[in-house]
Amino acid sequence: MKKTPWTLDPERFFDPDPAQRRIARTLYDSVAGLPLVCPHGHVDLRLFSDPDFRFGNPAELLIIPDHYVTRMLYSQGVPLEALGVPRLDGGPVETDPRQIWQTFADNFYLFRGTPSGAWLAAELVDLFGVREKLNSDTAQAVYDQIEDCLARPEYRPRPLFDRFNIEVLCTTDPATDTLPHHRAIRESGWHGVILPTFRPDAVVNLDTAGWRGNIDLLSEVSGVEVVSYASFVQALEQRRGYFKELGAPATDHAAVLADTEPLDDDEAEAIFARALAGRMLPGDPQRFTAHMLSEMARMSVEDGLVMQLHVGSMRNHNDIVFQRFGLDKGCDIPRTSDFVYGLRPLLNRYGNDPRLRLILFTLDETTYARELAPLAGHYPAVRLGPPWWFHDSLNGIARYLDQMTETAGLQNLAGFNDDTRAYPSIPARHDLWRRACANWVAGLIVRGIVDEEDAAAMVHDLAYGLAKRAYRLG
């Protein structure tokens, strides 16, 4: 069977109508070359702190750590062991990267029409120069091609940072992290801008596994002996200051619910004391987390760190997979969220204060038009984070823009996050966002809703300006 070379459609993700498509292409071309602003993500810093870091083999790079990939194969009956995902008990898993890659290629058709499929195709074609569509037959040749690339110096993380045209890349770091890799990168004299983000979940959420140890670590790194709620707050403030000194623009908080009801000091002290003593009452963790979200907003008002809030993931839905493989294996499932009543205490205290910047993320799209857009279209503090996780897709972006902007306006959006561990996928993710946005704005032009002057400004903001301003990045 004759093969046509595997290519990416230069007008991919645009609507088919010729008028809209022509405008979308023009708008996209105007922003395709802008630097990437990456204010929220999870790239491993060791890629950059060691100037000579080299990626491992193709399976280690693209499959084993990517739970978007492994979950899909698992859902169709491929054991995670066959994909080389390490077991917590050290039990046997596939170790031959070529076999893992073959299994992946055999099942690559599962990703048809998915964002993972689009990102993977863009990585293979654009980054690694693959010219044959990935399938069972081409698997090993594609593996060879990627392996060859990875051996070359220009495929090390630092040169790729320039090739990817990244202006700033933020990581997500525990409150107890002393940020040695960030320090090392700074001290190395390398020009790449990589900034930390303060994520205190593991000390703030009292039911975190290993919480007590995290508190000891917090005492150690902050120099504040955490023996009470008051000293806990002091230690957190010390850490925020430390992160800020190292350039952190923001904090990040994950919560199942958006509740923010504050406690009075006595209650907070009592709960914290019970937690230290290992004698928590039912409901203590939830109430304390809610309180701490309000408290974190108070600190943001004072120190100017942008506050990100990711709401609604029910983590580790699958006990068996969690027990065997641990966190982040594709079994976190979204649930409904309420922002109206949940956020009200926080917003009534700080939502009118221009010093607070609160960026909201949801996995419950029903809150877009009903709750989030009206909140962002009123409170000066609120901005709307981009479609998150499962919703960072062509349809997800269209739903987000259609449901958010009519009520909130474009200026209350926070631009794009790639939110990824998968460093090589960053350009593909931003590209999909930029194309989807260009197409969406082109849709406004062809419907006579905005003119070309407005459209150009909107696309530029979506691709670049909104993220920089939302995160106060210069």
Nearer to a second copy, 227 or 449 (CB): 449
Using the minimum distance from each CB to a second copy, give the nearer residue, 237 or 338.
Answer: 338
The 60-99 contact track toward a second copy, x by CB under 8 A, reads -----------xx-xxxx----------------------
Which residue lies nearer to a second copy by CB, 240 or 435?
435
CB-wise, 156 or 435, nearer to a second copy? 435
Contact region for a second copy (CB under 8 A) — 167-175, 183-191, 204-212, 388-396?
A: 388-396
Instruction: Please list every residue from 408 through 447 that binds a second copy, using CB under 8 A.
Output: 408-412, 443-444, 446-447
Scanning the structure block, which residue is given the tokens 């993380």?
157
Q: Which of 330, 385, 415, 424 binds a second copy (CB under 8 A)?
A: 330
Query: Per CB under 8 A, does 369 bind a second copy?
Result: yes
Nearer to a second copy, 184 or 321 (CB): 321
Instruction: Report, in Å, the least distance between residue 348 CB and a second copy.
Output: 5
The nearest distance, CB 373 to a second copy, in angstroms, is 7
Q: How many residues bind a second copy (CB under 8 A)?
A: 91
Can you tell me the distance from the alpha carbon of 312 to that of 325, in angstroms, rounded to the nearest whole number? 22
Piece of the chain touching a second copy by CB under 8 A; list 174-182, 236-244, 335-343, 413-421:
335-343
Q: How far is the CB of 398 from a second copy (least distance, A)?
A: 9
Residue 152 or residue 355: which is nearer to a second copy going by CB?
Answer: 355
Nearer to a second copy, 132 or 269 (CB): 132
Give the one residue of 32, 184, 450, 456 binding a second copy; rule: CB under 8 A: 450
Question: Whole-number minimum distance, CB 90 to a second copy, in Å?
Answer: 20
3-state secondary structure the chain: CCCCCCCCCCCCCCCCCHHHHHHHHHHHHHHCCCCEEECCCCCCCHHHHCCCCCCCCHHHHHCCCCHHHHHHHHHCCCCHHHHCCCCCCCCCCCCCHHHHHHHHHHCHHHHCCCHHHHHHHHHHHHHCCCCCCCCCCCHHHHHHHHHHHHHCHHHCHHHHHHHCCEEEEECCEECCCCCHHHHHHHHCCCCCCEECEEECHHHHCCCCCCHHHHHHHHHHHHCCCCCCHHHHHHHHHHHHHHHHHCCCCEEEEEECCCCCCCCCHHHHHHHHHHHHCCCCCCCHHHHHHHHHHHHHHHHHHHHCCEEEEEECEECCCCHHHHHHHCCCCCCCEECCCCCCCCCHHHHHHHCCCCCCCEEEEECCCCHHHHHHHHHHCCCCCEEECCCCHHHCCHHHHHHHHHHHHHHHCHHHECCCCCCCCCHHHHHHHHHHHHHHHHHHHHHHHHCCCCCHHHHHHHHHHHHHHHHHHHCCCC
Q: Which of 163, 317, 326, 474 binds a second copy (CB under 8 A)?
A: 317
Nearer to a second copy, 331 or 428 (CB): 331
Instruction: Tell me which of 208, 380, 421, 460 binds a second copy, using CB under 8 A.
Output: 380
Binding residues for a second copy restricted to 113-142, rule: CB under 8 A: 113-115, 118, 133
Using the minimum distance from each CB to a second copy, give the nearer residue, 168 or 375: 375
Interface residues for a second copy in 393-412 (CB under 8 A)? 393-396, 402-403, 405-412
Q: Beta 333-334 vs 313-314: how paired, if at all?
A: antiparallel
Query: Which of 148, 449, 472, 474 contacts a second copy by CB under 8 A?
Result: 449
CB-CB contact of 92 with 337 (8 Å): no
Q: Which two tokens stand for residue 374?
A: 């009206």
- Identify which range of 50-58, 236-244, 336-344, 419-427 contacts a second copy by CB under 8 A: 336-344
Structure tokens at 442: 């082109």
* Minimum distance, C-beta of residue 126 to a second copy, in the bound complex (Å): 14
Segment interacting with a second copy, rule: CB under 8 A, options 173-181, 224-232, 313-321, 422-430: 313-321
Closest to a second copy by CB, 57 vs 425, is: 425
Spacing of C-alpha 277 from chain mean position: 35
Of 166 and 331, which CB lies nearer to a second copy in the complex structure?
A: 331
Q: Which stretch binds a second copy (CB under 8 A): 98-106, 136-144, 159-167, 328-336?
A: 328-336
| Residues 269, 270, 275: CA angle, nearest 5 degrees | 95
